């Protein structure tokens, strides 16, 4: 992946927020959440070359054409976004299962207009040469909308089946796909000129080739090429094992098709032979677009958007995060970030570019906690009751420690370098830093130990499911102090460079506690986001991870959010 200019993006976003309030910052950040949370159903390229995607998660997202950063998340639809089109003005048109069409400003992405009229899901959109909008719906109608007033100029009834897809011919006539046929409508009168019984199953996608001929894709698994004048079938293309759900035309005229058989195929524009099959998807391919540089964009039922090179068809980038929650993170001696996830992987991220440098996926068990040893090696605790030691350079597993009888949920390093672990078995264990032998086992609090850390004086801090934080004396393990303040489970703990304690909780707050008096100095409201993990950067700032794969970085002095990124 290319470098993510997080600071620049952050500065830009701050300027867009009126009456900026640091305390409620995560609300604003949430609008820039990187990855779709449901199927990516449609794609378009806007006038500046950036990508717009629509999803069953009810949102549209704008992606930078070069860095693949998510620049904006657009909320507004009440149900999934099924189709997109770009107006001649550059504004974006979206159709949804909520029966509406929305017009979005190309610059601000604000909703300029909500168009009501259809009685069921809007399934297809197209823009005529005069700029007017054409929409097709599951209500079995096609509607023509004025480009300026957005009034309905014409309703075409009598389709007798839901209208799934639309295209505009070179002569500006309208093509609609419905049931097993497609229809040609006159651009001026909107009368049906021709009905072509084209496929043995539903026609789900249509594209106009560079020579004006029509390409149709169907649930019968075929692509058909139709003469623009005679409407005769010139070619039936077989190759997909399942439905053909989407079509696009490349800049060189070749055809691209996507299918639930999890492949993308490239077809020669003249011979219609298959030039390439891209079979790297693990989910159905349901949407395609061609970027201004000619590269291919695909969307899938796996929530991901992928970029493919126009010549070698290699994957250039994937717009996707961890496939499950980020459960833990830590900072390596070189400043790089280590994350562990419920998706059973550990990832190493560059401290500057936030690129993923390495994925360790040989665990097959969710990683619950991470810590860095004094020699730079890192330690992970897992749902399989084990602790693993990984080499800081090769990332190979050096040692597996057994001893706990339940999930290992927290780890820390003692001042002498030894490892301390906490488990759902309600015990705390001390492990020798060199031999990795268990030196000591102590019983923890009455409820499970959910997180722990070690203070600069060597005392141990425990966070628990009973919403409390306990300070234990480093030698006797006696409880010196119980800190109350959180209203839900304490999920994570870390120590700031000045010695103060930082805690994160399922109550969606981060709290800063004084190292000597244990008074709460600051509460950071994280607004509807459970705080899953914490770490301290080399510059002293606080890194926090959340249950939506988002990471926020807070200033060590003012505790305002200074940066953020989503795991990609």
- Average pLDDT, whole number, for the chain? 83
Q: Calculate ∠ Cα 47-51-55, nearest 5°.
A: 130
Kindly give, in sequence order, each residue whose CB lies less than 8 Å from that of residue 435, ignoring residues fewer than 6 positions away. Answer: none
Considering all CA atoms of the chain, what is the largest pairwise distance in Å, rounded to the nearest integer?
91
**What pTM, to 2 d.p., does this model score?**
0.54
412 has pLDDT over 70: yes
Q: Considering the chain, what percentage of its residues have pLDDT values greater than 70? A: 85
Contacts of 462 (CB under 8 A, 6+ apart): 422, 428, 444, 445, 449, 451, 452, 469, 470, 472
Give residue-wise pLDDT tens across range 459-502.
Answer: 999 998 889 999 999 888 889 999 999 999 998 899 999 999 99
Domain residue spans of the chain: 326-566
User: At 562, is the pLDDT very low, low, confident or very high (cuts 50, 70, 90)?
Assistant: confident
Stretch 421-431: mean pLDDT = 89
Taking CB atoms within 8 Å and a gap of at least 24, the contacts of 430-438 are: 431/387, 431/401, 433/373, 433/374, 436/389, 436/399, 436/401, 438/401, 438/403
pLDDT digits (tens, 9 = 90+) for 304-316: 668 888 888 888 7
Q: What is the pLDDT of residues 203-232, one digit of tens each?
A: 889 999 999 999 999 999 999 999 999 999
Helix (H, G, I), strand (E, B) or coil at 151: coil
CA angle 318, 256, 46 (to 5 degrees): 60
Give the Cα separation of 22 and 209 in Å (integer).
51
For residue 287, give the nearest of 302, 299, 304 by alpha carbon: 299
Per 3-state DSSP, the chain is made up of helix, strand and coil in percentages (nearest 5) of 5, 45, 50
Output 198 or 372, whichever has higher pLDDT: 372
- 165's enclosing H/E stretch is strand 163-168
For residue 1, pLDDT over 70 is answered with: no
User: What's the rounded Cα separation, in Å, for the pair 453 and 495?
Assistant: 7
Fold assignment, 326-566: Methylamine Dehydrogenase; Chain H (2.130.10)
pLDDT (average), residues 386-394: 91
**pLDDT tens per residue, range 147-186:** 999 999 999 986 667 878 889 999 999 998 887 888 899 9
CA 24 to chain centre: 22
Question: Which burial class, exposed, middle or buried, applies to 543 when counting CB atoms under 10 A from its CB (0-12, 13-18, 19+)?
Answer: buried
Task: Provide the β-strand partners of residue 544.
Answer: 534, 552
């Amino acid at each position: 992946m290319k470098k993510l200019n997080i600071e620049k993006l952050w500065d830009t976003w701050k300027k867009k927020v009126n009456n900026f309030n640091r305390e409620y910052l995560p609300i604003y950040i949430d609008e820039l959440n990187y990855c779709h949370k449901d199927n990516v159903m449609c794609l378009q390229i806007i006038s500046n070359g950036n990508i717009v995607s629509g999803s069953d998660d009810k949102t549209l997202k704008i992606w930078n054409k070069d860095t693949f950063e998510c620049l904006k998340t657009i909320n507004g639809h009440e149900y999934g976004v099924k189709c997109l089109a770009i107006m001649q003005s550059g504004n974006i048109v979206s159709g949804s299962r909520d029966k509406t069409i929305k017009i979005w400003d190309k610059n601000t992405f604000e909703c300029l207009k909500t168009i009501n009229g259809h009685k069921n899901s809007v399934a297809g959109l197209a823009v005529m040469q005069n700029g007017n909008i054409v929409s097709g719906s599951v209500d079995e109608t096609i509607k023509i909308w004025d480009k300026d007033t957005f009034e309905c100029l014409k309703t075409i009834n009598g389709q007798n089946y839901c209208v799934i897809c639309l295209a505009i011919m070179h002569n500006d006539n309208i093509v609609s796909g419905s049931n097993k046929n497609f229809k040609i409508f006159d651009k001026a009168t909107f009368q049906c000129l021709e009905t072509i019984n084209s496929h043995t199953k539903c026609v789900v996608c249509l594209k106009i080739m560079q020579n004006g001929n029509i390409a149709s894709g169907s649930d019968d698994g075929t692509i058909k090429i139709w003469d623009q004048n005679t409407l005769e079938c010139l070619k039936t293309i077989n190759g997909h094992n399942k439905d053909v759900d989407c079509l696009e035309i490349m800049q060189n005229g070749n055809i691209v098709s996507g299918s639930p058989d999890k492949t993308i195929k490239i077809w020669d524009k003249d011979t219609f032979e298959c030039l390439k099959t891209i079979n790297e998807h693990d989910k159905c391919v349901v949407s395609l677009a061609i970027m201004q540089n000619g590269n291919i964009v695909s969307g899938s039922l796996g929530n991901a958007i992928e970029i493919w090179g126009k010549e070698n068809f290699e994957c250039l980038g994937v717009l996707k995060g961890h496939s499950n929650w980020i459960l833990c993170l830590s900072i390596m001696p070189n400043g790089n970030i280590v994350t562990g996830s419920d998706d059973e992987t550990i990832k190493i991220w560059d401290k500057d570019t936030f690129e993923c440098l390495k994925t360790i996926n040989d665990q097959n068990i969710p990683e619950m906690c991470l810590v860095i040893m004094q020699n730079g090696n890192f330690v992970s605790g897992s749902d399989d009751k084990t602790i693993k030691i990984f080499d800081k350079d090769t990332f190979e597993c050096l040692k597996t420690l057994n001893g706990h009888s339940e999930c290992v949920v927290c780890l820390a390093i003692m001042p002498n370098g030894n490892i301390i672990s906490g488990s759902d078995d309600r015990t705390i264990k001390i492990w020798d830093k060199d031999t990795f032998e268990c030196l000591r086992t102590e019983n923890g609090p009455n409820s499970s130990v959910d997180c722990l850390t070690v203070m600069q004086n060597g005392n141990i801090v425990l966070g628990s499911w009973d919403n409390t934080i306990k300070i234990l004396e480093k030698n006797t393990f006696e409880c010196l102090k119980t800190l109350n303040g959180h209203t839900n489970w304490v999920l994570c703990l870390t120590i700031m460079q000045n010695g103060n304690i930082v805690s994160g909780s399922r109550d969606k707050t981060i709290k800063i506690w004084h190292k000597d008096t244990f008074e709460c100095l600051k509460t950071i409201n994280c607004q509807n986001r459970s705080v899953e993990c914490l770490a301290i950067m080399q510059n002293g700032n606080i890194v926090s991870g959340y249950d939506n794969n988002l990471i926020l970085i807070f200033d060590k002095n003012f505790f305002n959010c200074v940066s953020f990124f989503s795991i990609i």
